[in-house]
Amino acid sequence: MRKKSILRLFLLIVFSISLYSCVHDEIASSTDPSSKEYKSKSLWKEDEKYIKNVMQVYNENETKIKKGNGIPLWDYATTMDRFDESFLMVPVVDNGKVVSVLQVPRHGAKVYFIYTESQNDIAFFQNYISPNPKRALNADISNGTNKLVCVTKTVSTWLPDNEDNPNGTGTWVSTRVTTCTKQQLENCTGIVLPDGECMGGGGDPGYPYPDYGGGGDPQDPEPPEDPCAKTKSIINNPKMQAGLQELKTQSTQGGEKGIKFKADGTPSATITGGAHSVDLGDKTGYAGGYHNHTPSGIPMLSPPDVDQLLGFARAQPTSNPANVNNAYLGMVAPNGMHYVIWFNGNYQDSLTNFSQDQLDNYVNDYITYKDLFLLDNAYSSDHLNLNSDGLEKLFFDTLKNMGLDGKVNLQRIENDGTVKIVSLNSSNQPTSSTCSQ
């Protein structure tokens, strides 16, 4: 009997050791720095295309790039809210300890590998890669002077008072990391520090970025700065004509559809929405979009449309703070109605978020405004339909109600292609000026 008990105890110990070994191996393999396959463990959305391309460059040139001990833990790389294939930072680990941070900016056709040893950054990534429970806090975007834009990401990690009792008492400890961009330092081939200075690459010659020569610069082309030229460049773009015509045809029927467009006019697949709405979805890589309203809808951009414009603004490349002003949203409706709105705020303004309840309330207010304006002879001759003044007054009052007064520009496109800039005069009434041909 005693021998059987000893045997059972022995088998239990062996099983426990085996189970621990399997779990330990699984954890170790899931964070293997030498792995050639990228499996994101980020708490945020990342520019995975850029991460994979940089990994490729690093693996092909590791003997030239590598400095000191440690291997990049690519699964924890972060692109710091940049989605234009322009930047990443990744912890470099040696025996489970973060020894440095590798920052990789892209400038033109080359990427540069810059090792940094900021204790603040090292502490951030050490907590970030720990197996302890952790949570991401909202990213903070600050706009300083001289067009310096900094993004700060914070991770809060649970540190138990007793490592042997992880479910007991403990403390949430927050660490953060900050990266910056500055318009005046576009020629900096290093990284921009929070004080706005350029930290050079330390002799790094740069390495060719994959696929750069296959279609030109990965960065989207810069649209013209003039607001009239901007709109003309999209409505006259040959790549956009088929999509715009499809939406104009759809506007005479029931149901909304939408199309997203890249900066060069390349369209997305047509997106089918509901009776009076269409969600354009993920806007990464797109400058703007167009959609149609219907015969039974209001031929003016609505609160949800404004919310989608903010989404396009947030999706613009952060390498240049002014890029947010390249975001647009167009609308076509029956009887030749055609409007375009452009984002006119800064990046911080684009971070304005509305809950669904808030948007629903704004839509209710929007309909109330419309009903009131229908009673005004200045805005409606038949008290059934708003004229252009009534529609434009409706839009500007809605913007003010949403707290975005002055943050969005409105333009009207006539049937002959004439572009008109619409604004409010000193009497708070819509007025328009015609763009030169």
Q: For the residues of 233-291, what is the DSSP string, one character each?
A: HHHT-HHHHHHHHHHHHHHTSSS-EEEEE-TT--B---EE--SS-------TT-SEEEE
Question: C-alpha distances in angstroms, 8 versus 22, 74, 409, 414?
Answer: 21, 44, 78, 87
Lowest mean pLDDT among 4-8, 50-54, 251-255, 342-346: 4-8
pLDDT of 285 > 70? The answer is: yes
Residue 136 CA to residue 157 CA, distance in Å, equals: 9
Phi and psi at 75, nearest 5°, equal -60, -20
Contact 259, 247 (CB under 8 A): yes
pLDDT of 212 > 90? The answer is: no
Lowest mean pLDDT among 164-178, 261-275, 382-396: 164-178
Query: Against a cut of 0.85, is the pTM above it?
Result: no
pLDDT of 30 > 60? The answer is: no
- Banded model confidence at residue 168, pLDDT cuts 50, 70, 90: confident
pLDDT of 25 > 80? The answer is: no
Coil, strand, or helix at residue 139? coil
Q: Which residue has the higher pLDDT, 315 or 200?
A: 315
Q: What amino acid occupies position 246?
A: E
Burial class (CB in 10 A: 0-12, 13-18, 19+), 255: middle
CB count within 10 Å of CB 273 equals 15
Lowest mean pLDDT among 18-27, 82-91, 215-224, 333-342: 18-27
Dihedral class, residue 169 (left if φ above 0, else alpha if ψ from -120 to 50, else beta)? beta
Residue 175 CA to residue 64 CA, distance in Å, equals: 32
The pLDDT tens digits of the residues spanning 333-364 come to: 999 999 999 999 988 888 888 999 999 999 99
Mean pLDDT of 54-70: 93
Structure tokens belonging to residue 135? 């949570």
The pLDDT tens digits of the residues spanning 122-142 come to: 999 999 999 888 888 766 666
- Banded model confidence at residue 308, pLDDT cuts 50, 70, 90: very high
Q: What is the 3-state secondary structure (H, E, C) of 4-63?
A: HHHHHHHHHHHHHHHHHHHHHHHHHHHCCCCCCCCCCCCCCCCCHHHHHHHHHHHHHCHH
Residue 279 Cα to chain centre, angstroms: 16
pLDDT of 192 > 90? The answer is: no
Coil, strand, or helix at residue 176? strand
pLDDT of 23 > 50? The answer is: no
Coil, strand, or helix at residue 187? coil
Contact 166, 160 (CB under 8 A): yes
**pLDDT value, residue 149:** 72
Phi and psi at 366, nearest 5°, equal -60, -45
Residue 13 Cα to chain centre, angstroms: 51
Residue 371 CA to residue 377 CA, distance in Å, equals: 12
Residue 116 CA to residue 299 CA, distance in Å, equals: 54
Q: Show Cβ contacts of residue 215 under 8 Å, excluding neighbours closer than 6 positions.
A: none
Burial class (CB in 10 A: 0-12, 13-18, 19+), 11: exposed
**pLDDT value, residue 385:** 93
**pLDDT value, residue 278:** 94
**pLDDT value, residue 159:** 86
Strands 328-333 and 288-292: parallel
Residue percentage of the chain with pLDDT more than 70: 80
Residue percentage of the chain with pLDDT more than 90: 57
Burial class (CB in 10 A: 0-12, 13-18, 19+), 86: buried
Question: C-alpha distances in angstroms, 416 versus 120, 341, 402?
Answer: 58, 19, 32
Strands 134-136 and 148-160: antiparallel
Q: For the residues of 94-106, what is the DSSP string, one character each?
A: ETTEEEEEEEEEE
